[in-house]
Amino acid sequence: SAVISQKPSRDICQRGTSLTIQCQVDSQVTMMFWYRQQPGQSLTLIATANQGSEATYESGFVIDKFPISRPNLTFSTLTVSNMSPEDSSIYLCSVAPPTGDWETQYFGPGTRLLVL
């Protein structure tokens, strides 16, 4: 399995500001994913980020609100732009391993965001 870290682990932000969340993996992976988990809720996929291509966003999520970068095979960022209290959530990145059981996803510890 991959070891995934996220920064920051938590943050409190003001309405209207933006926050960039970093996801670092200890091995090279092709596919990285960003999820949102609202309090007490399930995980909702925001977008898939493959290195060397534009991120693919799920229905209900747009690039202007959640721009994603994927500069190399071990790193990605998700920006939550022009935040509102409704953006208060846990944001999780996950990766699919490049070999073996590629349908498996391994998750980072999450970034807990509170927007005031």
Partner 1 sequence: QQQVKQSPQSLIVQKGGISIINCAYENTAFDYFPWYQQFPGKGPALLIAIRPDVSEKKEGRFTISFNKSAKQFSLHIMDSQPGDSATYFCAASIHSGYSTLTFGKGTMLLVSP
Binding residues vs partner 1 (CB under 8 A): 1, 4, 31, 33, 41-45, 48, 50, 92, 94, 96, 101-110, 112
48 or 89: CB nearest partner 1: 48
Cβ contact 44:76 at 8 Å:
no
Task: Look at the chain and count its residues.
Answer: 116
In the complex, what is the shortest distance from the CB of residue 89 to partner 1, in angstroms, rounded to a whole number?
13
In the complex, what is the shortest distance from the CB of residue 36 to partner 1, in angstroms, rounded to a whole number?
11
Residue type, 25: V
38 or 82: CB nearest partner 1: 38
14 or 99: CB nearest partner 1: 99
3-state helix, strand, coil in the chain (%, to 5): 5, 50, 45
In the complex, what is the shortest distance from the CB of residue 77 to partner 1, in angstroms, rounded to a whole number?
17
Cβ contact 112:46 at 8 Å:
no
Cβ contact 45:52 at 8 Å:
no
